[in-house]
Amino acid sequence: MTTAGYRLQRRAPLRALNTFGIDATAPLLVEVDDAQALPALAGQGLLGDAASPALVLGGGSNLLFAGDPATPLLRLRGTRIAAVDEHDGQVRVRAEAGAGWHALVEWTLAHGLGGLENLALIPGTVGAAPIQNIGAYGVEIGERVVAVEAFDRLDARFVRLDREDCAFAYRDSRFKRTPDREIVVAVEFLLSRNAPPDIAYAGVADELSAMGVAAAMPADVAEAVCRLRRRKLPDPARIGNAGSFFKNPLVPAAQAEALAIAHPDLPVFPAADAGLRKLSAAWLIDACGWKGHRDGDAGVSAAHALVLVNHGAARGDELLGLARRIRDSVAARFGVALEPEPRIVGAAW
Ligand SMILES: Cc1cc2nc3c(=O)[nH]c(=O)nc-3n(C[C@H](O)[C@H](O)[C@H](O)COP(=O)(O)OP(=O)(O)OC[C@H]3O[C@@H](n4cnc5c(N)ncnc54)[C@H](O)[C@@H]3O)c2cc1C
């Protein structure tokens, strides 16, 4: 069925729409070509209601369908990217939610703009990027966001949220805390024509040297990051996964110190909150012996302990069961609570 600004599909197969490759079915998929249609969709009840809100789906690279979703799924398909204005080499760029994240990074580099190069090759869409404040190689998008444009389902109106309103934190934001309220329709970034790229993160400078680059431009850093990522992370096109399944846990400084004394090779990092420390979830999981573990087709990557993989026909509830067993073993051995990074659809953590 085609209607102005959106399309509807009943009993929509989701296997190709999530990077875990989980076979699930949505009762209804609403493809929104024009975000201005959202108020009309809300009026028709197609965004669900407070008790069962529609789930917004981007590229499906940060969620796990633990079963068939019970609510409609909504995909924003607008992909426009444009410069809004420029002052003293600082350029505001607006991108619609349906644009691919890496496509945006490539667009900025083609237009001579730096700021997003460390975030090259992260899967997914622009609209999902603020949800968990995507980060990689020393940069989080919260640092580059000017504003997020969203449709507020509670008040049934469009809102413009400044960076401060978004409450960005490590893999977190206001959108993640109240996931069923705002539908992100566009994001505005502040990028630069001349700021030097950030190459401080471990491995980036070495990769640039290996590439023979002395004075790195943003495009060189993006290329270095792409090379590092291709070597380190399993490609969802070859084996289903959602990147890191667990967040690095934040624990009180005293607990981190005690753990570091007992386990001198445990990596401990500073956190934004001075009273907390960030631990390496990968180290904790590896120490419990999970790397390369496999229960049928649900497994842990042999290369990266943080990445759960679907070897072929794993069900979402099987991957969730494995994730819970990993969580329980880390809690029993180290007294540290692991939290999942992807959204679990259809089950509680
Ligand atoms: C191989 C691999 C590597 C990865 N590396 C990284 C990394 O380095 N750093 C990092 O931070 N993440 C990483 N990720 C996770 C993932 O790519 C990001 O979280 C990405 O932003 C998810 O985008 P998506 O469009 O696929 O979102 P989805 O998985 O479709 O959705 C994720 C969440 O966002 C919500 N959402 C999506 N779009 C909207 C919208 N328009 N409005 C409101 N809510 C919305 C969904 O409801 C859901 O809660 C990786 C994933 C993979 C598979």
Angle at 139 between CA 257 and CA 239, to 5 degrees: 90
> Largest Cα–Cα distance of the chain, in whole Å?
63
Average pLDDT, the chain: 96
CATH code, domain with 151: 3.30.465.10
Give residue 52's pLDDT: 87
- Report the separation in Å between the CA atom of 227 and the middle of ligand 1, taken as the mean of its atom positions: 21
Whether residues 56 and 112 share a domain: the answer is no
Provide the pLDDT confidence category of residue 2 given band limits of 50, 70 and 90.
low
Residue pLDDT, tens place only, 153-181:
999 999 999 999 999 998 999 999 998 99
- Extract the tokens encoding 255: 């607990």
Bridge partners of 169, per DSSP, are 172
The residue annotated as part of the active site, out of 244, 277, 280, 315, is: 244
62-111: pLDDT as tens digits: 999 999 999 999 999 999 999 999 999 999 999 999 999 999 999 999 99
The reported pLDDT for the residue numbered 186 is: 98
- Tell me which of 18, 57, 61, 137 to substitute to probe ligand 1's pocket, judged by most ligand atoms within 8 Å of the beta carbon: 61
Q: Are residues 11 and 26 part of one domain?
A: yes
* Angle at the Cα of 66 from the Cα atoms of 63 and 67, rounded to 5 degrees: 120
Can you give the pLDDT at residue 240? 98
Q: How far is the C-alpha of 251 from the C-alpha of 93, rounded, in Å?
A: 37
The alpha-carbon radius of gyration of the chain (Å, integer) is 21
Would the pLDDT of 1 be above 60? no
- pLDDT value at position 65? 98
61 CA → ligand 1 middle, Å: 5
As a whole number of angstroms, the distance between CA 30 and CA 41 comes to 9
Considering the domain architecture, whether residues 103 and 6 belong to the same structural domain is answered as: no
Ligand 1 atom nearest to 136, measured from its CA: 8
Cβ contact 272:264 at 8 Å? no
Identify whether the C-beta of residue 49 lies closer than 8 Å to the C-beta of residue 3.
no
Task: Say yes or no: 334 and 255 in one domain.
Answer: yes
Please classify residue 82 by burial: count the beta carbons closer than 10 Å to its beta carbon, then call 0-12 exposed, 13-18 middle and 19+ buried: exposed
Sole residue written with tokens 């302990």: 305
Q: How confident is the model at residue 3 (pLDDT cuts 50, 70, 90)?
A: low
Distance of CA 292 from the midpoint of ligand 1 (Å): 24
List own/partner pairs for 252-258 with CB under 8 A and 24 or more apart. Answer: 252/276, 252/277, 253/277, 255/335, 255/336
Tell me which of 171, 174, 315, 327 is the catalytic residue. 171
Residue 183 has pLDDT above 50, yes or no: yes
C-alpha 79/C-alpha 73 separation (Å) is 18
What is the crossing angle of helices 218-232 and 101-110, to 10°?
Answer: 150
| Residues 58 and 113 reside in one and the same domain | no
Least confident interval from 43-47, 86-90, 253-257, 324-328: 43-47
Question: Nearest 5°: phi and psi at 158?
Answer: -80, 140
Residue 48 is given by DSSP the state B
- The verdict on whether 230 is a catalytic residue reads no
Is pTM beyond 0.85 here?
A: yes
Do 261 and 287 belong to one domain? yes
Phi, psi angles (nearest 5°) of residue 345: -100, 125
Task: Tell me: do 91 and 140 sit in the same domain.
Answer: yes
Domain ranges, residue 188: 81-192
Could you tell me if residue 197 is inside a domain?
no
124 CB within 6 A, ligand 1:
yes
- Please tell me whether residues 97 and 173 are part of one structural domain: yes
Q: Is the pLDDT of residue 246 over 90?
A: yes
Instruction: Report how far Cα 127 is from the mean position of its chain's Cα atoms.
Output: 10
